[in-house]
Amino acid sequence: MDDDGEASVAVGAEESRRAAVLRPLVQAYLNGAGSLESGINDAVWELGVSRATVWRWIKRLAEEGGRSSALAPRKRGRPAGTTLISGKVEAVIEEHLRRYYLRRERS
């Protein structure tokens, strides 16, 4: 198997391990059954992550119907193609760059 295949198998195994630890907590979270503190503390210790991460994973699993794929690593940052400024502003910036900064030097 190539390196990418081995890496994806390892990631899949880790997702499954996390899901197995967290599923009982997700059920308790969805049922509103009492305090989850001891279960959260056990999950923090067993998974080696912060309390905030455990809560984030519990909520993600609850939203995704308990599928272990919900725990797959996600790409950080803005989604591709996201723009922060309008096309008009972009055009003004480009025009000024061309007019004032991208001039040929005199020889």
At 88, the pLDDT band (50, 70, 90 cuts) reads very high
Burial of 65 (0-12, 13-18, 19+ CB in 10 A): exposed
Q: Greater confidence, 94 or 16? A: 94
Mean per-residue pLDDT, 22-49: 84
Question: How far apart are the C-alpha atoms of 30 and 101, rounded to whole Å?
Answer: 59
For 10, 19, 45, the CA distances from 13, given in Å and listed in that order, are: 5, 10, 19
pLDDT at 1: 46
38-65 pLDDT, tens digit per residue, is 888 999 999 999 999 899 888 888 888 8
Cα–Cα distance, 82 to 3 (Å, whole number): 31
Q: pTM of this prediction? A: 0.57
> For the residues 67-82, what does the mean pLDDT come to?
79
Q: Give pLDDT tens digits for 1-20.
A: 444 455 455 557 888 888 88
- The domain limits of the chain are 8-72
Residue pair 44/51 in contact (Cβ under 8 Å)? The answer is: yes
